[in-house]
Amino acid sequence: MSFVEPGLWQGLALLQHELLLFAGVFFLVGALDDLAVDAAWLWLKLRGRAATQRRQRAILRHRNLAGPVAVLIPAWQEAAVIGQTIRHLLDTWPQGALRLYVGCYRNDPATIGAAIAAAQGDPRFRLVIHGREGPTTKADCLNRLFAALTLDEERAQQRFAMLVFHDAEDMVDPGALGLLDEIIDGGADFVQLPVEPLVPRQRAWLARHIGAHYCEEFAEAHGKALVVRDALGAGLPGAGVGCAASRRALDWLVLRQRAENGIAPGGPALPFASDSLTEDYELGLAIAAAGGRCRFVRARGEDGRLIATRAFFPHRFDTVVRQKARWVLGISLLGWDRVGWAGGSANTGCVSATGADRSPRWC
């Protein structure tokens, strides 16, 4: 035993040393990456290239859209929030060229009922029932919504100009749709507006602080990192809410899925990998990889508030862990495993991925 113990402890000490060295190198790389973004942002601020625009919300809210617009909202067990989201969106964006597609599941009658009641017969509302029982991935539900809107295009003999993506709990900004339409009509293929997480102040102290870290993350990402990426012309990782893509960009994603899955030209194909955990993050990167122009736009209304999407993020420990695990697994690990790092130095820190999880889970 006396001969075994020294070797065992020496081995454990060597393993600890190697793991610490490995972790230290990655911490250093991450710190240098953050420092580079900070330096670039400061340079842009000093040059006046990171200034936040000032816009009139009333003008944007009543802007005549360049073409029909489809807003896509997937919903699974969202009966508590989907009604308020639908009513707020339809009241806030009055344009007749808007079509709101809400995707529900046949085994979720509560969400279906809440969505129908909130729409109040508005002709711009489209309820799409998924043929499969839920839950599936958000990407799979978006594919079902895309199939429904393409069928509407065929019937009306008119294509949508852009697609806007939101979640079931989002509170849209009155000026957001007009601003997205303006940028897409100006030649962009993907646009991301800021996301402003809301803190549930009525909750307990621990719940507020668990959820508040989302505010810090999005303030850093949408106040600095994406500003720098936009200035560099790099691909933009989408947030999945408050973002829009041109109709032709979705055609590119369909072509990519055909190529990746060996589907013959003209055969059935959909834009998203149905088993992806992070289709929102991949959306902007995939469009950039196809040659599309991506924009991140920060603008404030006359009241000084950002034109942004607002929503309460998870504030319970278990839901936060689930969402963070999905982000890490889908963005960093699965994407890196399949695609790797791509796009040159401007795209450092983002994985150009399509996502492939063997056991998808709605989160």
Count Cβ atoms below 10 Å from residue 281 Cβ, excluding itself.
23
Residue with tokens 């806007």: 164
Q: How far is CA 3 from the centre of its chain?
A: 57
Q: What angle do CA 154, 96, 159 make, to 5 degrees?
A: 25
* Closest C-alpha among 140, 152, 172 to residue 74: 140
What kind of fold does domain 46-317 have according to CATH?
Spore Coat Polysaccharide Biosynthesis Protein SpsA; Chain A (3.90.550)
What is the rounded distance in angstroms from the CA atom of residue 168 to the CA atom of residue 76? 9
Residue with tokens 């790389």: 29
Domain ranges of the chain: 46-317
In the predicted structure, residue 351 carries a pLDDT above the cut 50: no
Average the pLDDT over each of 61-65, 114-118, 277-281, 285-289 and give the range with the smallest value: 277-281
Q: What is the pLDDT of residue 359?
A: 29
Average the pLDDT over each of 1-10, 138-147, 161-170 and give the range with the smallest value: 1-10
pLDDT in tens, 123-159: 999 999 999 999 999 999 999 999 999 999 999 999 9
Residues 6+ apart with CB under 8 A from 290: 249, 252, 253, 256
- φ, ψ at 195 (rounded to 5°): -115, 130
pLDDT in tens, 181-238: 999 999 999 999 999 988 766 666 665 666 677 777 778 888 899 999 999 988 888 8
More confident residue, 268 or 147: 147
- Taking all residues of the chain, what is their mean pLDDT, rounded to a whole number? 85
